[in-house]
Structure 1
Amino acid sequence: MKILLIGEYSRLHNSLKEGLMALGHEVTIVGCGDKFKQFPVDFSIYARICNDNKIANFLFKSIRKVIGFNLEKIEKAIRFYLLLSKLNHYQHVQLINSDALETYPILSRFLYKKLFQNIQSRSLLVCGDETPIIDYLFKKEFKYSVLTPYFEDNSIEKEFQFPLKYRNKNYRKTFNWLVKNCQNLITSDLDYEIPMQKMGFQTTFIPNPINTDKITFQNIGITDKIVIFLGINRLSYSKKGIIYFEKALEIIREKYADKIEIIVSENLPYSEYISTYNRAHILLDQVFAYDQGYNALEAMAKGKVVFTGAETEFLNQYQLQADDVCINAKPNENEIAKKLSFLIEDPEKINKISKNARKFIEKEHAYKIIAEKYFTSWN
């Protein structure tokens, strides 16, 4: 089967591609590479002129600042339009998001209509911010969510421009159009599956695929200091609750100065990010979550002890006990510091969670099995 995957924000589509190809399918990814993360794609619609040419970049930023017109979005739309003639012969297309092309909604709909004229089998993946997800979070039925910092302090609205845009009329119109024109709505973890169900959508829940052949388990083997890694993405700093990790690290830095090493990175390309945390025993991922995102799952596959979303809903879904395969990180620096202290004082617990984490990924997220689930859903 010839499969077209549009958009890439986390390496999800790359791992899915690897699983599908292992099953004998032909797969192509179209996308931007997600800015500084630089995920690989087969056909790029990255806005090279707007971003890489210094003179053009200065000019376009000035235009955007003065009149609010984003020429980067226009360039992405043009690049995708020029690709359309190469995208006629696929049997299935999956969008990673309703804004998979990262352009203006009216242009997205125009381009999707052109694309869908020749591809009858279509799916929309919900694996991040999306109109019904944000709508549900505004109901405030979760005890906390990625929007909690915004609800507590509206002055940081600019930091939440990406999730909040999905409540705008044009983005909502695009999502609703795609729901009518795609045969499948697929969710990748419980942070999206629960809201979609609560908002009345019929979805297929398929966990994230992790390439368990490419990502090998690293025996945690603590012989000296315990290494703790925190990777910061400034675009999602508040959404992920990074401030709670930073405060927790301040607490344990004073308490265990001779027992730990702390590594902090910021806005690294994906490949550099991965190599930077390879030495770590513990990885601090995110706070405002109920299930694990993609970065957490890849780290767990390597055997890292990850502080991330692992709420009751997650434990019930996979029939686990608290802190079996990862550590549930709540928005409380003292609680995070307490859990870090427990691990630092009992390194054997780190070893146990490390091995459990790998087994969990192999059981629930193995990329070939997940790819088969996607293929079954599409058919």
Structure 2
Amino acid sequence: MKILLIGEYSRLHNSLKEGLQALGHEVLLVASGDNFKKYDVDYSLHSAFVSDFWFIQRVKNGIFKITTIDLEKIERAIRFYSFILKQKEFDHVQFINSDAIESYPFLSRILYKKLFKTIKSRSLLICGDETPVVDYLLQQKMKYSILSPYFEEKSLEKQLQFTLKYRTKSYRKTFDSLYKNCTSFITSDLDYKIPMEAMGYHSHFIPNPINTDTIEYKPLVIEDKIIIFLGINNRSAVKKGSHFFEKAVEIITEKYPNQVEIIVTRSIPYKQYIGAYNKAHILLDQVYSYDQGYNALEAMAKGKVVFTGAENEFMKQYYLTEKVAINALPNVKSLVEELSFLIENPEELKAISKRARAFVEQEHNYSKIAEKYLEVWSQISNKN
């Protein structure tokens, strides 16, 4: 098959691409690289003209201030249109979400419609913010979610705009268009599976693909200090609950001044981020999730002990009886207690590290996951 993957926010599509290629398929990944993260792509939608020259940036900022028109979104649409004009036939296209090309919704709909004329087999992946997911989270039926900070303090709405935008009329119309025109829908973890099902949408649950062939597992060796890593993405820090981790590591530093080393980074490119946490024993990911996202799983594959979503629902989904990650709660006291236990019981760190790698190999192997995608894509429709 010749497969087109559109959009990339976590390296999920890159890993899926590698799995599909291992099975002998031809794959093309089209995306912007997701801002500062700079993920690898085959055809870039990055708004280089508008973003990479300071004098053009000043013009862009001036136009946005006066008219609220975002030239970066327009440039990405132009680049995608240029790609469509050059593209050859594909057997299947998958969108990473309804805002896969990161443009204005009305432009996305026009461009998607043009793409639909040549590609009949289409899938929409729900692996992050999406209209039905946000609709459900706004009902506050989950004990916590990425919108919990918003419920507690409405002034955070601006900081959560990348999530809340999916409830607006224009983004909702774009999702509805994809729902109507895609033949299959896929959720990547329980944080999306639960809301989609609750909102009445049928989707296939396929765990995140992780390329364990290229990710080396290194058994934890604790020679002197236990190294704790916190990588903060300024744009998503609120919905990941990063401030809980920041407060927790402050307390841990005071409590164990000679036993721990803390590494904190902010909004650095993906490859630099990976390099920064390689020597860590513990990685602090997020507190508002039920399941692991791509970054957490990749760290687990390396043998890191990750504080992330590992709720009871997750344990039941995979029939687990022992921890493969630490269920991080939005509670500083809980985080400090979990960290303290691991610092005082380093053998438990090593045990979780081994189980984490084994879990990823068993449940997230990239080629096995790619096979599941192919199976779903081969079905006519999952909406009936």
TM-score range, shorter chain: over 0.9
Between the aligned partners of 1:51 and 1:365, the Cα distance in structure 2 is 36
Structure 1 counterpart of 2:124: 124
1:222-254 Cα offsets, whole Å, 9 max, x none, are: 111100000000000110000110111111111
How far the C-alpha of 1:62 sits from its partner, in A, is 1.5
> Which residue matches 1:359?
358
Deviation at 1:67, TM superposition (A): 1.6
Which residue of 2 is the match for residue 182 of structure 1?
A: 182
Percent identity of the aligned residues?
Answer: 61
Paired residue type of 2:155:
S
Partner of 1:249: 249
**3-state SS, counterpart of residue 234 of structure 1:** coil
Aligned equivalents of 2:312, 2:321: Cα separation in 1 = 9
Per the TM alignment, residue 85 of structure 1 is displaced from its structure 2 partner at its CA by: 2.3
The answer to whether structure 1 residue 151 and structure 2 residue 156 are counterparts is no
Q: Matches of residues 159-170 of structure 1 in structure 2 within 5 Å?
A: 159-170=159-170
What is the alpha-carbon distance in structure 1 between the residues aligned to residue 276 and residue 234 of structure 2? 17
Q: Distance in 2 between matches of 1:230 and 1:200?
A: 36
Paired with 1:151 and 1:49, the residues of 2 have a C-alpha distance of 38
Whole-Å separation in 1 of the counterparts to 2:69 and 2:86: 29
Q: Structure 2 CA distance, aligned partners of 1:272 and 1:101?
A: 24
SS in 2 for 1:151: helix
Q: Partner amino acid for 2:71?
A: L
> The residue matched to 1:238 in structure 2 has which SS?
helix
Cα distance in 2 for residues equivalent to 1:248 and 1:160: 23
**Residue 204 of structure 1: how far off its partner (Å):** 0.3
CA distance in 2, matches of 1:123, 1:91: 12
Please name the residue that 2:367 is paired with.
368
Alignment of 1:1-379 (within 5 A): 1-321=1-321, 324-379=323-378
Aligned to 2:381: none
Q: In the aligned structure 1, how far is the partner of 2:253 from the partner of 2:120? A: 56
Aligned-pair distance for 1:319? 1.2
Give the C-alpha shift of residue 156 in structure 1: 1.5
Could you state the TM-score of these two structures normalised by the residue count of structure 2?
0.98
Show CA shifts across 1:68-103 (max 9, x none).
111111100011101112323110000000000111
Q: Secondary structure at the match of 2:93?
A: strand
CA deviations on 1:187-238 (whole Å, 9 max, x unpaired) are: 0000000000000001000000000001010110111110000000000011
* Counterpart residue identity of residue 340, structure 1: L
Partners of 1:53 and 1:195 in 2: CA distance: 41
CA distance in structure 1 between the partners assigned to 2:127 and 2:62 by the alignment: 33
Contact 1:87 1:115 in 2 (8 A): no
Cα distance in 2 for partners of 1:207, 1:292 equals 10
Question: Which stretch of structure 1 is more off in the superposition, 198-207 or 87-96?
Answer: 87-96
The separation in 1 between residues aligned to 2:14 and 2:201, in whole angstroms, is 26
How far apart are the structure 2 equivalents of 1:173 and 1:348?
52
Letter of the aligned partner of 1:82 in structure 2?
A: S
Normalising by the residue count of structure 1, what TM-score does the alignment of the two structures yield? 0.99
Aligned residues: 378
Query: Gaps spanning 5+ residues in structure 1: where?
Result: none
Contact 1:88 1:119 (C-alpha < 8 Å) held by counterparts: no
RMSD value over aligned CA atoms?
Answer: 0.7
CA offsets, 1:160-190, max 9 Å, x none? 1111100000100110111110000100000
